[in-house]
Structure 1
Amino acid sequence: MAIHQQTIDYFQAHQNYFWRWAEGGNVIEFANERTICYREDLSNILTALPQTTSLSLGTVLLILCACKDNWEELYNAEVIINAINPSSLGEEQNESDHFVQLKAKACVFLGMLNKLPIVYRSAANRTALLQCIFDALAVKGYHMGLLPLLKEFNSGEMDEQIFGKTQPLAQTTIVQDFAPLAAALEVFGDTDSLEMKLRTGLTNAPTPISLPSATPGNESLIEQLENDDSTISIAGLAKRIMAALYIPLHLDGRDDQNLGGVSDIATKGTYDKLLLSELAYDDDLFSVRLANNEALFFQREAVPENKNKELGLIIDSTLKMWGAARVYAVATAVAFAESKHEHQKLKVWSLGGKHADIYQLEGKKDVVALLEKMDISMHCGEMLLKTVKEIDKNGQYILVTSTHFLRDPTSAPYLLQVREHLDYLVTISSSGELQMTQLNKKRSKLVHEAKIDLDGILLSRRKVNSKIVQENLPAVLYDEQFPLYFPTSKIRHKQNELYRMKNNGVVTVSIDHRFLYWPSKNFGAVELVSNVPAGKYCFGELDQLIVLMVIAEADEVVNIFSIDPKTKIQYVNDVAVASRNATDLKYVDGYFRFNNDQKTIVIDVRSAKIITEEQANQLNLKSSHTPSGGMSQLKKHLNNGYSVINSSKAIFVHAEDNIFSDKKEFALMDNEFRWHENEMAAVQWVKPSSQEIFYVDHLPNIKFTKFTWKNGSTAVVDSRGLLHLKSYKQELPEIGIIMIIDQPTACWSMDGYVSGSRYFIGEPSNHLMPPAQFYEKYIQRFIDNLK
């Protein structure tokens, strides 16, 4: 009978408590009659917990409540929990302060738990969340193991006793339900600590141990180049080349087999090569077979002789290989140096017209020296002949030169004379084209080709004849979060370039390479990524993240962006894969897929790794979400009928004290901010003394036009549709204005206040200021300071 009573005590509801059974025991509801869970759901959760775990049912139910997104509104939990007063139970009054504090801490923890990402609070992961919390507390349990109680509960034999009655509420019940939650608050402290426990099993990140700094000799060549700003571009280019060339296995000498395969069976050999079948004979017969040379042994193939074969790179350093082609050639040498076998010997020749220098490429200094070696001769034909005569005929050799060498009638004949002694020919051009050709005695075969964006890797992102200004930028550019929603600007209205999400939000990549997200048709855009590589795009959703695959126009690397739209935290993974001529881009169930020239590539978004065709077939991927809505609906979602001012030839103040952009006037009309056409009043009264265009490093595709008045005040027109105003008087905060035409717009100030259209402001905040007050406090003062 003891087990029966314990089952009743565990599952029976209490009088005047926060939960109770309803609908004949099929539903557990909160005190306000809102459903917490169903009986079957609760049974499954408790069954999935380890058998040794003993959890109070009240604690489990409170955690299940906090797992729901709208739990505060749904349950009004804090008010109902605080209404549970121990003094009403006939207990001693002097203990009431303890219970108040206990319940308060429990409510704080439940609120902290509710801030976890939804993936940790989903129906499939609630059991893991429960176990994680109680593992961290090292809970011993207030009851015996749950398994025998669950068996009796699920049998249904005690339903009448459990669901038909309620038991009096005792202080011990409140303690065992709320004390674990209060203790959990002390263990975790914040949501981040709880999330780390769920992800890693640790409540805090381990303290890093003190390690001696690595010596240069312990770093790879690529790492040495990456650690120096002057050579980091060489490292990046070498990585692109390694991904594009797929250096053949027989070329890099990576044969880690100590012995060859089995080639024959012989009657002589060492005992480690004895056939296992010989051991089946009895001892006497086995001895006779050994004595008469009748026992059988494996005969191995000979160890490959080319394991340490010399790998030689012959690099043309003459005039036509100067500039970007020179950097390209050296990066190619670094790529081969990094791909060779660790025991393979590498030798690099730098050929001029009359001399040749030899390098080992063992460190960064060798790379720099190779870069500096340039010759003014027109071609290296003569030195190529001389070098080939001195090389080891058993080695493998690669000539790296320009396409001009093959087309020039004075240099091309030299290649014909040495062709049979070379294994590969790599031709490059300053425009980023690379071809790798395998050379045989009678024919040649193109094995790899690639086109890499050299400007994007080697050059800074600067425009010709433009001034780069990284100091004194508009203050909003230094902030992590833009204070308003962005206007819709430079969008391609094409079906395959707009993606409607499950929550009806829309994402796209703009013409100026910004990854934008419209959470609702009632608000403007959120800028998730300010600078996305140019190329082909594919969109998707994974848990609570927005994911984007970028197949760059030139690189053989696929970029996977994963962004949380609420926090704007982004993760970027680079996947090295041949992606030229990619077609049929799709996102399916957490996987991006596309077709290249050879096959279908499938990339797992979670691990950023390519999966095999067999694995892809086993997954039986089916589209989990098909974007809906016609183009007209998408256009209405992105834009409510306004036009954006992306550039201005002139910014000035009219005699009537209003700001103008060309012939468009900014004014306060009917208590709304508006830009509107006003050609009649477009007379420059207070105009700037200078004007210049500048670009910002982290926003290379955005154009900024800066207007400066004589007193030092400035106006900056941002091609995203923004106007930044900065007075020469330091006490006046910087101001920003959204530049749209014939629709109410919005403004912000750098001291935190916003004003104007809710379309750009979003939900009301404590820093919302009426337009008339904002205009007088900020914009009018800026205008007055110009006079």
Structure 2
Amino acid sequence: MELTEYFQSYEDYFWEWTTDEDVPDDTGYNENNLISFQNIGAVVYRPYLIEILKELQLKGLPILSPLLLALYATNEGYLDLKGIKTNLRKHPLAAHEYVKHLIRPAFQFLETLKSLHNNYKKGKNRVLLLQTIFKYASNNISEKQSEYILNGYLRNSRKIADSSQKIEITVSKFSKDLGILVALNEKFPSSQMIIQVMKGNLKIADIEEEVIEEETTIETDKDFIQQLIEEPKTFQVGSLIKRIWSGLKIPMRHLSPGEQPIGGVSDMTNKGDFSRMLLSEFANEDEVFMNRVANNEALYIQREIPPEENVFERIILIDTSLKNWGTPKVLAFASAIAVIKHPKAHSECKVFALGQNSIPIKLDKVEEVIDHLNIVSPVLEVSQSLEKFFSEEHTDKDLEVFFITNRENLENQNLQKVIHENRDRLKFLVTTSAEGELNFYKHHKGTRKHVQKIMLPLQELWANPPKRNQKGENNNSPRSKKADVPLNYPILFPTSKNRIATFLYEGEFFILSSKKQLLKTYLSDNYYNKNYYDQYKIHRGCEVLFEDISVRPKGQFALAKNKQHQFILCHYQRDKKLISKLNLNTKEYSELNLSGHKIPHQHKLIYFDKNFYLHQIEIPYNYRINLDGDISLEETFDKVNERIKIIQKLKLNSIN
């Protein structure tokens, strides 16, 4: 390869040779002394580029275009990689079948370089970085040819003028430039791997043998926080998270000096190895030299050490005791998710709910958040489970524990004692309150320091709850695809065979299908006469009334209409001791934990006389659930059972 070919520029490509008249060149040729990117500006001056090429020459020069992109990605300050990517996609050859699939992975590698700590992108570290990555690049020029190109430039730098005359780029050249970065992206999938190779802790053979398994995920238009906001059951939690982010000041990662001395000289000391002794010490006479060494007067170089990221196991403990019920629990879960899902938090985080015991939970999906919000504990305080957590279950020292509790719980002496004894591992203490106040404390060198206070305007943030749940609108699976609800007139669909529950209400038959739809079908007028209906029934299909009903398929259900003629779906989960009520028209949801009520196992959920009941015909008392307003439970001893028996007798008489 000739000098002109190596430095050749191309028409409509992302870089070109330009001239900065204010910067003279030592070679005497001041034209074409700068390489600039399209719509970006100056990237690298020619003298610095030549110095970089001299450092890379020993292993063979890399192709120039990928090197320029790598130099830009390792520059300091604001970098517009997206702008370069957009300009490349506008090139006529970008749509070619050999090119279009290379752009995305190529820029993934540039983003990896961009994410490196600034210490690795300065001075000699930057040179070492470029030597490391391009050592394993494809299509490098041979060492002999590299020497020929650089010597040719040093003899006659004016040949760059020929290279500055743009020619048309070919598909082969375009794909080769991007293909080099794509191959590097496969060899170095993460910034940490680049650092390990730079330090010599990892060889490229290990990288090529390592199989990286990535979890296959379905990309959605909404992020996790937005999904929480749109789900009525998690709206209160989701609406607080971004507000907490805006004021959160706790560190998302920790940096400390590393052990690999790849930096420059930062200081001098009177202790060290002979390899680091200051060269001027060897200029002393033998007796003076030995005397200075013996008396620890000789000076040694202390190298600058770039920081490394400490690896702590981050654990979040959420108090679920009595004083942390209600609003404090909502704030606790919002704080936990804010720490876990923070944009700058890349480390793995474990979450435990503390009650009588520590229960591991996950908060990665909306369904998981809904389930774990129902976890409550009857204990007054969690000092015993917290002490057990540190003394028996997690004895490691490299822990960074967040403990989230109600501020009133800190007045308990037992809890104070456990927190004080484990303050070296319990790094952060977060307190909540019913008024929306969050306080963050940090344990540092045995003392507790107040980091910050966040006051959340709960009424403002919770003023506009979602009217409908759109969580399932992007589900395009053929098996779960549901017909759209018609806007102008009802279209009758086939009767669903997979049903969660069926209801008979005011002469109309309703089906809650497994696709979370409420269907309405029609019976004959004499629907109490089973024989008549079996003989003369007509399958006219079902009308879809509601879709995307947020409900679990297990449990007992009852359906009714309130005074505003809105459908109310009542759900009784006996195993979870939970009863809930959902307004299908407005999506208003309320639930009640029945742990404190001794409800007989035989009681069943029914609708009767404008109320829901937990009812058993042989037991004289029932539990009444209101139809309007927030859900409530009332034990009654009225004559509901007698009235139900009379109605059942009337039905039997009409059949006979």
Task: Tell me if TM exceeds 0.5.
Answer: no
TM-score, length of structure 2 as denominator length: 0.30
